[in-house]
Structure 1
Amino acid sequence: MKLIGSPNSPYVRKVRIVMAEKKLDFQFVIEDVWAADAAVSADNPLGKVPRLLIEGHELPLHDSRVIVEYLDTLSPVGKLLPASGRERADVKTWEALADGLLDAGVLARLEATWAGRSESERSQAWIDRQMGKVQASLQAMSKTLGDKPFCCGTHLTLADIATGCALHWLDFRFPQVNWRDDHPNLAKLADKLALRASFSETKPG
């Protein structure tokens, strides 16, 4: 398997962590989707990463949620998704919330920093709206986590990987957002996850 993506993308990082936890072999090919000669659109018309190329399969997989769900079926090692039912839905809901936080954060960051837009064209109201979604997501995560050691109970799941990637990305791209003091239970989870080899070896920056 060949994973195409950026080392600083939290969505790509999620896939890399899942591969590490599942002990899957793959080749990581770095690609900048913002470069003029980026080839990502050749395999994904949306021009996004990650995408996973699989030998013998003509259609590459794209979207991190699709990729990690597929990867979890490849090995019984470190099962990250329950097979069915409410437990599976809970894990996927955590993942959707974490990815939604990232989606809003990325939109806010692009509005503030994208070189294709002048300062006069930037909308602070749009940035504030997206960051409001980030704050609301953090509050929901903190409330749902409570005092549990992991997002969905007593062991690591895809919910924790997605949440850890989102929280660490906030530290990386929005150090001015003081989410740790506001949500110490999330900070405790993020710090615990950072100690795992799969997280420490994929740290952005």
Structure 2
Amino acid sequence: MSLKLIGSRSSPYVRKVRIVMAEKKLDYQFVEEDVWADTTTIARANPLGKVPCLLMEGGEAVYDSRVIVEYLDTLSPVGRLIPVPGRERAEVKTCEALADGVMDAGVLARMEAIWPHRADSERSQAWIDRQLGKVHAGLMALSQGLGDKPFCSGIHLSLSDIAVGCALGWLEFRFPHIDWRSAHPNLARLQDKLMQRQSFADTRPG
């Protein structure tokens, strides 16, 4: 099967897909795309104009990182990352949704602060603070869920850890002033352990 992934190296959602593909040992072509550029052509593959977007051998497009990684996990028996339907699966997908939500809020806060087509007088600090409040609440919940376990959803690497690791890595990249490591040392330990994996080291943003 010939797979093509359209994305940005700085996107945490794209990174999540790239890590899953590495862990599953799937071959693919990576096509870098800047969706903010005037010359972007992403809408040809995804009408929403967002990455990641996975193109299948026949040209069919699959988009939204959560949909893509669920599909990718079915392509190879190597390193199953999502449990079969049931309570454990729901726990993994909920953890992924929470980690993605942290990234969603962080992206909204960042774009409010840097969007070039908006004057400084039009920016809302209250909106930024509201989104960063969601980031901190999400980190607290992730830390409480991790507790003293070796991984987010038990004793083995799963999609939970990949999603959380991508969220933490993106915060370090885009919001270095947020000292989540001191506030949540268990998340820091998890992140350090994940960064020892080749899939994480190879996709570090920046």
Name 1:2's counterpart in structure 2: 4
| Cα distance in 1 for residues equivalent to 2:56 and 2:48 | 19
Query: Deviation string for 1:88-128 (max 9, x for gaps)?
Result: 00000000000000000000000001111111110000000
C-alpha distance after superposition, 1:33-54 (max 9, x if no partner): 0010101011111110000001
How many pairs were matched up? 204
**Alpha-carbon separation, structure 2, partners of 1:154 and 1:83:** 16
Counting aligned pairs with the same residue, the percent is 70
Matches within 5 A, 1:51-66: 51-56=53-58, 58-66=59-67
Aligned to 1:26: 28
Matches within 5 A, 1:82-101: 82-101=83-102
Q: Distance in 1 between matches of 2:118 and 2:92?
A: 37
Say if 2:69 is the partner of 1:71: no
The whole-number CA distance in structure 1 between the counterparts of 2:145 and 2:200 is: 23
Structure 2: where are the runs of 5+ without partners? none
1:167-178 map, 5 Å = 167-178=168-179
Instruction: State how far apart, in whole Å, the 1-side matches of 2:26 and 2:41 are.
Output: 25
Deviation >2 Å, runs of 4+: none
Secondary structure of 1:29's match? strand
Counterparts of residues 111-122 of structure 1 (less than 5 Å) = 111-122=112-123
Indicate the residue corresponding to 2:47 in structure 1.
45
Letter matched to residue 52 of structure 1: L
Question: 2:84 and 2:154 mapped to 1: Cα distance?
Answer: 16
Please name the residue that 1:204 is paired with.
205
Q: Does 1:110 align with 2:111?
A: yes
Matched, 1:35 2:10: no
Q: Does 1:12 align with 2:18?
A: no
1:196 is aligned with what amino acid? R
SS state at 2:43 partner: helix
Shift of 1:59: 2.9
Q: Which residue of 2 is the match for residue 81 of structure 1?
A: 82
RMSD: 0.6
Q: Distance in 1 between matches of 2:117 and 2:80?
A: 42
Q: TM-score, normalised by structure 2?
A: 0.98
What is the CA–CA distance in structure 2 between the aligned matches of 1:191 and 1:173, rounded to whole Å? 18
1:41-89 CA-to-partner distances (Å, cap 9, x unmatched) read 1111111000000112x43000000000000000000100001100000
TM-score of the two chains, using structure 1 as the length reference: 0.98
Distance 2:48 2:129 in 1: 26
Quote the Cα distance in structure 2 between the aligned partners of 1:117 and 1:69.
37
Distance 2:149 2:78 in 1: 23
